[in-house]
Amino acid sequence: MDLRETGFLKVLADYSFSEKMLVVNPNDGFDLGLMTTEVTVFLHTSGSIDDLRQPGSEGFPARLYQKNECRLGTVEMSLATSEKMGSPRHVRLHLLAADPYPKLLLSPQ
């Protein structure tokens, strides 16, 4: 299975964001192998890469957007998602190809 990841990205959490929405700069999205402006993913906010590889790990459906307005090296997400992870200052995104949608793990620093 193909696993791609970003470097550590600064977290910008905002209460106006849905828990099912993440935004990254297209250059950071390129590190994940993304070539479209948005993609549906199964989002995981806890666990490890090994957990992500397990067949039963589903996460919850979310949309990952690539926008030039998002500063390079930054991920924008909901305040609730950030709080679920312990309000980290930085996270690394790991994208694992899967059917029907890729799995995206947010790993706090």
Encoded tokens for 26: 């297209």
- Give me the CATH number covering residue 98: 2.40.40.20
- Our count of domains for the chain comes to 1
* pLDDT at site 20: 95
Which structural domain, as residue segments, surrounds residue 59?
3-108
* pLDDT at site 58: 78
Taking Cα atoms as reference points, which of 107, 105, 109 lies closest to residue 44?
105
* pLDDT at site 23: 98
Can you give the pTM of this predicted structure? 0.93
pLDDT along the chain (109 residues), means of 10: 91 95 97 95 92 85 97 97 95 94 94
* pLDDT at site 4: 96
